[in-house]
Amino acid sequence: MPAALPTSPPAIPTAPLTAEMRQALRAIVGEKGFIEDAHGKQPFVTDWRGLLVGSAGAVVRPGSTEEIAKVVRLCHEHGIAIVPQGGNTGLMGGATPWPAHTGIVLSLGRMNRVLDVDPVGYSMTVEAGCVLQTLQETASEHDRFLPLSLGAQGSCMIGGNLSTNAGGVQVLRYGNARNLVLGLEVVLPNGEIWDGLRALKKDNTGYDLKHLFMGAEGTLGIITKAVLKLWPAPKDVCTAWLAVRDPRAALEILSEAHAASEDNVGSCELLSRAAIDLALRHIPGTQDPLKADTPWYLLLEWSSARPRRDGTEGMSGKMEQFLADQLEAGRVLDATIAQTFGQSRNMWRIREAMAEASRAEGPGISFDVSVAISKIPEFIDKGLKAVRDILPTIRPYPLGHIGDGNLHFSFMGPKGMDQQTLNQYAAAITRAVNDLVTSMGGSISAEHGIGIDKLDELSHYRSKTELDIMRTIKRALDPHNIMNPGKVLRL
Nearer residue to ligand FAD within complex by CB, 171 or 429: 171
Q: Which of 52, 95, 182, 436 binds ligand FAD (CB under 6 A)?
A: 95
How many CA atoms, within 13 angstroms, populate the side-chain half-sphere of residue 101? Answer: 31
73: closest CA among 483, 440, 419, 454? 483
Nearer residue to ligand FAD within complex by CB, 4 or 455: 455
Q: Does 87 sit near ligand FAD (CB under 6 A)?
A: yes
Contacts of 356 (CB under 8 A, 6+ apart): 151, 282, 283
Closest contact distance (angstroms) between CB of 330 and ligand FAD is: 31
Nearer residue to ligand FAD within complex by CB, 189 or 383: 189
User: Degrees (nearest 5) of the Cα angle 190, 196, 198?
Assistant: 165
Q: Does 197 sit near ligand FAD (CB under 6 A)?
A: no
Nearer residue to ligand FAD within complex by CB, 168 or 363: 168
Instruction: Note the maximum CA span of the chain.
Output: 74
- Residues facing residue 412 across a β-bridge: 364, 395
Site for ligand FAD in 109-128 (CB under 6 A): 128
Q: Does 156 sit near ligand FAD (CB under 6 A)?
A: yes
- Piece of the chain touching ligand FAD by CB under 6 A; list 163-171, 436-444, 456-464, 472-480: 163-171
Q: Which of 180, 222, 300, 437 binds ligand FAD (CB under 6 A)?
A: 222
Closest contact distance (angstroms) between CB of 326 and ligand FAD is: 26
Q: Does 217 sit near ligand FAD (CB under 6 A)?
A: yes
Length of the chain: 491
Strand pairing class (82-85; 104-107): parallel
- Count of residues engaged in binding ligand FAD, rule: CB under 6 A: 38
Nearer residue to ligand FAD within complex by CB, 109 or 314: 109
Closest contact distance (angstroms) between CB of 95 and ligand FAD is: 4
Closest contact distance (angstroms) between CB of 85 and ligand FAD is: 4
Euclidean distance between CA atoms 143 and 235, whole angstroms: 10
Nearer residue to ligand FAD within complex by CB, 46 or 294: 46
Q: Does 166 sit near ligand FAD (CB under 6 A)?
A: yes
- Piece of the chain touching ligand FAD by CB under 6 A; list 159-167, 274-282, 290-298, 420-428: 159-167
- Piece of the chain touching ligand FAD by CB under 6 A; list 87-95, 254-262, 318-326, 431-439: 87-95
Closest contact distance (angstroms) between CB of 150 and ligand FAD is: 4
Q: Does 89 sit near ligand FAD (CB under 6 A)?
A: yes
Nearer residue to ligand FAD within complex by CB, 132 or 265: 132
Q: Among positive and negative, which fits the CA dihedral 142, 339, 175, 353? A: positive
Binding mask 322-361 for ligand FAD (x = CB under 6 A): ---------------------------------xx-----
Nearer residue to ligand FAD within complex by CB, 91 or 271: 91
Q: Which of 5, 69, 74, 108 binds ligand FAD (CB under 6 A)?
A: 108
Q: Does 167 sit near ligand FAD (CB under 6 A)?
A: yes
Q: Which of 161, 170, 267, 346 binds ligand FAD (CB under 6 A)?
A: 161
Nearer residue to ligand FAD within complex by CB, 161 or 303: 161
CB 278 within 8 A of CB 352: no
Residue 33: what residue type?
Answer: G
Euclidean distance between CA atoms 429 and 434, whole angstroms: 8
Site for ligand FAD in 431-490 (CB under 6 A): 447-448, 451, 484, 487
Nearer residue to ligand FAD within complex by CB, 265 or 332: 265
Euclidean distance between CA atoms 482 and 16, whole angstroms: 13
In the complex, the residues that contact ligand FAD under the rule CB under 6 A are: 48, 83-91, 94-95, 108, 128, 150-152, 156-157, 159-161, 163-164, 166-168, 217-218, 222-223, 355-356, 447-448, 451, 484, 487
